[in-house]
């Protein structure tokens, strides 16, 4: 794999990051936590970041186990402004297809890279701006919205730069699509620019980047896709009194009440079981008619019926 780090779409599974070209030196910026939770996490991501799709298992587990202590602020990174990049062997959309196949196998998360051959995105800015528009309506619905956008992109090979696909994802996540369109064309563009400016002030070099902070100017950064313990340890270092909530549940369908769709890797990480065991359990539930299943060439996603 190329070591050229100037192309944002050349996400390196070894480091777990999709890196941006180097910006000017950043100023140190303090992160102020919200009043109601002891830990604030600023999560810089992008809907088309394959490494961010790779940390969905860890992030979902973190919310289940430490949700009482953390407030996650989703910020958009603008991974692909346009196709003016030409480095690391990626100069056009079709170059990304094979790269995404590699990422899928590495993270054990389902991705079909053929979207870059069949209906390639010209930018990630539309989906980033749509996410900011969704946040104006509801933070919780916005998180669902981004998940649905990603499933459309990675599994259904839908171009999420197109409004028709953005609108459909918005409807599925319970957002008001007319308001979303209005905000998308107005305030959301300003909010997205603020995210880009803030990223520079924080020194964000790539995605995923998670900044953990407490109320005493203490900050820790977890950069890239890392094992679950890296994120958990950041919380415990800043707030040692945090008590882990048990996620294991005797009923195998219980997780689907919280997360309507789960890949085997997510199910495995959340329940601390092997990928093979998770796949077997989920496949049995599917065969009994208790789950839906969406298969792509590099994996599968199970869904609540």
Q: Indicate the helix (H) or strand (E) that contains 262.
A: strand 261-262
* pLDDT for residue 195: 98
Task: Give the chain's count of helices (H) and strands (E).
Answer: 13, 9
CATH number for 194: 3.40.30.10
* pLDDT for residue 25: 42
User: What is the number of domains present in the chain?
Assistant: 2
Residues 183 and 73 in one domain: yes
CATH number for 257: 1.10.10.10
Residue 228 belongs to a domain: no
Residue 268 belongs to a domain: yes
Residue 277 belongs to a domain: yes
Residues 30 and 163 in one domain: yes
Residues 31 and 137 in one domain: yes
Residues 172 and 259 in one domain: no
Q: Is the peptide bond before 239 cis (omega within 30 degrees of 0)?
A: no
Residues 257 and 112 in one domain: no
Residue that finishes a domain, picked among 209, 233, 261:
209
* pLDDT for residue 216: 86
The answer to whether 10 touches 99, Cβ cutoff 8 Å, is yes
Residue 236 belongs to a domain: no
CB atoms within 10 A of CB 30: 9
Residues 166 and 274 in one domain: no
User: Cα 130 to chain center, whole Å?
Assistant: 15
Residue that finishes a domain, picked among 156, 187, 209:
209
Residue 29 belongs to a domain: yes
Q: What is the pTM of this model?
A: 0.91
Q: Find the helix packing angle between 264-271 and 56-66, rounded to 10°.
A: 40
Residues 261 and 172 in one domain: no
Residues 274 and 160 in one domain: no
In the numeric block, the tokens 């070209």 are attached to 21
Residue 293 belongs to a domain: yes
DSSP 225: S
Residue 1 belongs to a domain: no
Q: Indicate the helix (H) or strand (E) that contains 301.
A: strand 299-304
Residues 31 and 151 in one domain: yes
Residue 248 belongs to a domain: no
Residues 124 and 270 in one domain: no
The 10s digit of each residue's pLDDT in 61-117 is 999 999 999 999 999 999 999 887 655 566 788 888 988 999 999 999 999 999 999
Question: Quick one: what percent of the chain has pLDDT higher than 90?
Answer: 78
Consecutive 10-residue averages of pLDDT for the chain (305 residues): 48 68 50 75 97 97 96 96 70 86 95 96 96 98 98 98 98 98 98 97 94 92 95 97 82 93 97 96 97 95 96
The answer to whether 57 touches 175, Cβ cutoff 8 Å, is no
* pLDDT for residue 35: 60
Q: Which domain holds residue 40?
A: 18-209
Helix or strand or coil: residue 38? coil
Q: Is the peptide bond before 208 cis (omega within 30 degrees of 0)?
A: yes
- CB environment 60-91: b (16+ within 10 A), e (fewer): bbbbbbbeebbbbbbbbbbbbeeeebeebebe
Dmax of the chain from CA atoms? Answer: 56
Residues 26 and 109 in one domain: yes
Residues 283 and 198 in one domain: no
Residue that finishes a domain, picked among 152, 179, 209:
209
Among 81, 115, 88, 85, residue whose Cα is nearest residue 100: 115
């Amino acid at each position: 794999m190329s070591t050229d780090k100037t192309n944002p779409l050349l996400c390196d599974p070894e480091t777990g990051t999709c890196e941006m070209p180097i910006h000017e030196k950043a100023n140190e910026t303090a992160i102020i936590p919200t009043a109601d939770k002891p830990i604030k996490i600023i999560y810089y991501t992008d809907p088309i970041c394959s490494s961010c799709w790779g940390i969905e298992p860890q992030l979902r587990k973190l919310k289940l186990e430490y949700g009482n202590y953390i407030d996650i602020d989703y910020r958009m990174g603008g991974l692909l402004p346009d196709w003016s990049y030409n480095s690391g062997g990626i100069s056009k959309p079709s170059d990304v297809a094979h790269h995404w196949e590699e990422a899928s196998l590495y993270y054990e998360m389902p991705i079909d890279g053929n979207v870059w051959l069949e209906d390639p995105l010209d930018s990630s800015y539309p989906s980033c701006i749509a996410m900011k528009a969704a946040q104006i309506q509801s933070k919780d619905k916005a998180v669902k919205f981004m998940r649905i956008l990603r499933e459309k992109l990675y599994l259904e090979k839908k171009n999420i730069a197109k409004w028709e696909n953005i609108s459909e994802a918005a409807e599925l996540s319970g957002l008001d699509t007319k308001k979303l369109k209005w905000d998308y064309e107005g305030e959301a563009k300003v909010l997205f620019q603020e995210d880009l400016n803030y990223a520079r002030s924080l020194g964000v070099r790539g995605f995923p980047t998670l900044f953990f902070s407490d109320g005493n100017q203490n900050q820790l950064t977890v950069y890239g896709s890392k094992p679950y313990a890296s994120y958990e340890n950041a919380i415990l270092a800043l707030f040692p009194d945090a008590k882990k909530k048990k996620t294991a549940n005797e009923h195998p369908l219980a997780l689907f009440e919280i997360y309507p769709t789960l890949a085997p890797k997510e199910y495995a990480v959340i329940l601390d079981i092997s990928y093979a065991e998770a796949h077997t359990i989920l496949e049995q539930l599917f065969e009994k008619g208790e789950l839906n299943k969406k298969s792509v060439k590099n994996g599968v996603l199970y869904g609540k019926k």
